[in-house]
Chain A
């Protein structure tokens, strides 16, 4: 009974340490550079405590729930040997976690506004909404596809750098012909797709697969899913901007 408590306390101490740099930066800039008192100090301290406790629970739960389930599913799929279902699972995980991502919804709405202001689409609510929806599903599809390619690569043992560098070359080529307004959003959309729950799950899945398939090294073959999931949306969003 005492061991979990001790572990929990240690995780809490780590969270305090992880969040201390932010506090130092804010206090330094407020008092020495901007020379202003910190507003609503009580509220901010309460919020800070929330962040510390939240991070502690998250990390604690991660090692109890998310990592084990990601890995045990990877083992089970590898033992079953059914590649088709594994790829369908990868696609569902990539698509399903992205389509509900709040950051993505915000970015696609912004992109639709830019398109409306640039005269690409009509500046009506319906047209903007349709554009944003289309973009959201495009990105989600791109992440799903990235998961499929990433899992297939692990099975085959292809080096990830060839796929990524090939993707970069495609991005560079597309940048030269894509409309200027979409470029910034396209580049940013690669960064917003990987949420706090998706990253640990995908990592556990990749490492679990690489360690249960013979001849694969978890270090070389297990990582790389996140990288692919941040690359494909850039390509697909630029394509979306070009086709629309």
Chain B
């Protein structure tokens, strides 16, 4: 019974915090609506109900993350990066042997799977995917975009973990990533470019950031020779860069596939014509 009361109280606090975060947004929107646009909002009641649902939903979502996902996600990040676990799993218990980067393989697998699954659950990515689907008239699938982005985050975070383990400088990776993005931009279908750029920013909001940060800081504090402060940061940057690459790649692949099919059918019909002649 006490647990229930505590839970309710905690939720009330989260709810108030969420309202606090939303107030500046609401003030700006309604302020401009009433003083500058000076027109009544269409379906005001519906919009206000929608706003209320958004705040309520976000509060529940955050509370649930705090209660369930973050503690266990952080705990797992700590256990997986623990030197004892890594030595034990590779049977290299003798002291003095430096750990090779490949012995952290469970960390990379965890980074990949948790990056993928938290991105699928990210509400802002879902919002952008719904809009993109609507605007493109259905040619960009909600799931296609979400999976492309999630794969990008997964690859980015595993690579970021590898960087922390090996200690290579962050900007080498980021700058190479930028160069790949620029080259891809030249060859990608023009329609997808702005959406691809946007998908870099949407991936890292509520769900992914806390767990990924815990993983980065956990790794940097456990791997010998790494500074928590300098090496712990940077995973988010990986998680926002690689989705751009993966979404552009997804668009390029589907364009290439469509072209190949087109030329195949074209060729087939030409062949047919030739044999008929």
Which of A168, A180, A226 contacts B198, CB < 8 Å? A226
A-B contact count (CB 8 A): 335
Within 8 A of A (CB), among B184-242: 185, 190-191, 193-195, 197-198, 200-207, 209, 229-237, 239-240
> Interface residue tally of chain A, by bracket?
35 or more
Per the bound structure, the CA–CA distance linking A50 and B68 in Å amounts to 9
Q: Which residues of B contact A168 (CB under 8 A)?
A: 178, 181-182
B-side contacts of A34, CB under 8 Å: 76, 79-80, 85
Contact assessment for B127 and A54 in the assembled complex, using a CB-CB cutoff below 8 Å: no
A196 engages B123 (CB within 8 Å): yes
Chain B: minimal CB distance from A82 (Å): 8
Task: Specify which chain B residues have a CB less than 8 angstroms from the CB of A113 in the assembled complex.
Answer: 229
B170 / chain A contacts, CB cutoff of 8 Å: 183-184, 187
CB proximity to B under 8 Å, residues A83-142: 85, 89, 92-93, 96-97, 99-103, 110, 113-114, 117
B73, A26: Cβ atoms under 8 Å? yes
| Those of A20-79 within 8 Å (CB) of chain B | 21-22, 24-26, 28-30, 33-34, 36, 38-40, 43-69, 72-73, 76-77
A227 at the binding interface (Cβ < 8 Å): yes
User: Does B43 belong to the interface (CB within 8 Å)?
Assistant: yes
Partner of B48, one of A65, A117, A191: A65
B268 at the interface (CB under 8 A from A): no
Size band of the B side of the interface?
Answer: 35 or more
A24, A45, A72, A185: the one within 8 Å of B117 (CB)? A24
Q: Are A227 and B61 in contact (CB under 8 A)?
A: no
Interface residues of A (CB under 8 A from B): 18-19, 21-22, 24-26, 28-30, 33-34, 36, 38-40, 43-69, 72-73, 76-77, 80, 82, 85, 89, 92-93, 96-97, 99-103, 110, 113-114, 117, 159-161, 164-165, 168, 171-172, 175, 180-181, 183-185, 187-188, 190-201, 203-204, 207, 217-227, 229-230
Apart from A50-B60, A192-B209, A223-B195: 5 A-B pairs, beta carbons within 8 A: A18-B121, A22-B117, A22-B121, A25-B117, A65-B46
Question: Could you pull out 13 A-B pairs where Cβ atoms are within 8 angstroms?
Answer: A21-B121, A29-B113, A38-B72, A58-B53, A65-B53, A161-B197, A171-B178, A180-B230, A184-B230, A191-B237, A219-B195, A221-B194, A224-B198
